[in-house]
Copies of this chain bind each other. A is one copy, B any other.
Amino acid sequence: MLLHTIFVIALAAEAMTAALAAGRRNMDWFGVCVLGCVTALGGGTTRDILLGHYPLIWVEEPGYLLVTIAAAMFTIAVARVMERLRLIFLLLDAVGLVVFTIVGCQIAMDMGQPAMIVIVAGLITGCVGGVLRDVLCNDVPLLFAGELYATVSAVTACIYFFGVKAGLPVDAVTVVAAVIGFAFRTLAIVFKLEMPRFVYAPVRGNQSSKR
């Protein structure tokens, strides 16, 4: 129940930050709503399509679509205020990352998937929404730019999966995974922790070598 409430709040927060990204590109109101929905619901949708897990959650429960659309439109009115709340939205985004990851793991485990697929399902649920947003905004996905974001999702997914597999109470595992994941992401933001990058400059660049 609590997880579900936090899930809905996180959906709205993801839609609102995506709406700001739409505003930075001067998109119209329709684009704002689409970008909000794709960012908030795109991760779960991608997971369900890859796992063949139908119906998609927003098809079964269109209320999720309404929440994201309402949050995106609301952003247009309150964008200036949100700016001062940047820190809160950064934290809400971290909450969303962790909660989406756990929900993704739960669904894959309910389907009886093995460890690797459960963790990938968590990662996809937590991270793909932002990738789709960046593709629609015509950016190289921010996800690949060094921030400890996917790593937080992977760690959260591992704690959840192995905790549940070890027979610990699911509620306790959920709380522990969420708290550790959230703390990890917060520390990564505060201390600007980064993944190492792979920097490769070819000696001779030519078209064929791109393949």
A residues near B (Cβ < 8 Å) are: 17, 19-32, 34-35, 45, 49-52, 54-56, 59, 62, 65-66, 75-76, 79, 83, 86, 90, 93, 113-114, 116-117, 120, 130-131, 135-147, 149-151, 189, 194-203, 207-211
Contact = CB atoms under 8 A, between A and B. Distances in A.
Contacts of A113: 59
Contact of A93 (B32, B66, B147, B211): B211
A17 to B, nearest CB: 6
Query: For chain A, what secondary structure do more than half of its interface residues adopt (helix, strand, loop), or is it mixed?
Result: helix
- Residue among A142, A144, A150, A197 having the largest count of chain B Cβ atoms under 10 Å: A144
Number of copies: 3
Contacts of A51: 55, 59
Contact of A76 (B62, B130, B198, B203): B198
A30 B62 contact: no
A99 to B, nearest CB: 15
A200 B138 contact: no
Contact of A144 (B22, B76, B83, B117): B22
Contacts of A189: 208
A108 to B, nearest CB: 9
Contact of A138 (B79, B140, B143, B203): B140
